[in-house]
Structure 1
Amino acid sequence: MDEDAGLIVAVVHDYFEGWFDGDVARMGRALHRDLVKRSAGEDRGAALSFVTAEQMIGWTGEGEGVQVASGLADRAIEVEVLDVRRDIASVVVRSEPYYEYLHLVRTRDGWKIANALWCTP
């Protein structure tokens, strides 16, 4: 694994483990301030849900992810770095509760998650 891929995987773990542990610092470190997180929702994509970095950080602090993690049999997180080109990257993440496609951008402060599209398996 090259250096960028290792840094990207670490950011993804900050995002997932921060969520599961209620760790606001880790979640905040992982997300770009302009994050757009979407899911197809109950209506199979007729309208996409929209979540911001501020909402994700707030929900992390409120323990939303801790509640999810408490019901998991396995907290394994599989991260596959699909592509890295200059200052952008594409990743797929597989875990028990979530399946996510992530786009990351390299900033002055390191790699950050800019876009997320997710569903439950």
Structure 2
Amino acid sequence: MTTILKSPGLRLAMRVQPAPADPQRARRAYLAALTWGFTLFNAVRMLSYLPTMWAIYGSGDSSQHSLWTWLTWLGANVTMAAWLYEQNGQRMGRAVFINLGNATMCAAMVMLIVALRGLTS
């Protein structure tokens, strides 16, 4: 932005830079949005297991679902929850609860697959 200052017999043009935004405020807003986005998408993620569970249960056929994959995801969620707990000074934060919720859903899927395979064997 250019500002022209005029006085009798003098004309002075100055380039005035807009004041920079408060970087701390922008960072806090970004972190708040990121936290809510993480929470929202992971809450939806926990609900997204249900249609698969209903489909497997309804068909009685778990052969298209890898038990190895679900056990791996279960282990990944449990260890991530434990890692976050330790990194957060042994406090239960939102991310720990989210990972435990996802681990619970993976465990439920593992139990469903194992139960249906036991019934059809």
Q: Which has the larger radius of gyration?
A: 2
Asked whether the two chains share a fold, i.e. TM above 0.5, the reply is: no
TM-score normalised to structure 2 length? 0.26
TM-score normalised to structure 1 length? 0.26
Query: Greater strand percent: which structure?
Result: 1
